[in-house]
Structure formats: C-alpha cells, structure tokens
Amino acid sequence: MPHSPEEKKKVLARVKRIRGQCDALERALEAGADCNPVLQQIAAIRGAVNGLMSEVMEAHLREEFGQPARSEAQRTARVTEMSALIRSYLK
C-alpha cells in the first residue's frame, strides 16, 4: 500500500477514474448499448485495474526491498511473500 502522500493521491485518483468507468459501463448496460462499446469499456476497466495493481505492487516492492533484511530468514520470508503476491496477480 502506498504510504507517501503523493503515491496515495495517485492511487486514489486511479480508483476514482475506475469507479467512473464502472458507472459508465453500468449506464451503458442499463441503456441496452451495443456489444462492441460495452466490450471496449470492459477492456478499458480491465486495463485500468491492471495499471492500479501494478502501481500498488511497485510501491510495495519499493517499501519491502528498499531496506535491507534484518536476517536471512526475514529476507526469505519477504521473497516468499512477494512471490505469492505476484503469482496471485498473474492469475
């Protein structure tokens, strides 16, 4: 999770943008929009969510590995945690 005020502001702006895209998709579906524009909107939302995930993951990596581990066991635990996080992201 981004902790600096600048990173937090950027992430929240992305979330608000995604919310707006989801609201637009909902309106399009309620209005019976054609399939192509609906699919384009879904793809845009997916891209925005992927960008958000990447940004948050990058911030987490910088925070997690920006400081040296206190021990080999801690380093191993941090690497294992990040590997699991990346695997879940790639599903």
Domain of 79, CATH number, reads 1.20.58.1000
Domain span holding position 34: 5-90
Q: pLDDT tens, 24-64?
A: 999 999 999 999 999 999 999 999 999 999 888 888 888 87
Confidence at residue 1, expressed as pLDDT on a 0 to 100 scale: 65
What average pLDDT does this structure show over 18-27? 98
| Half-sphere exposure at residue 90, Cβ-oriented, CA atoms within 13 angstroms | 6
Mean pLDDT of the chain: 90
Domain total in the chain: 1
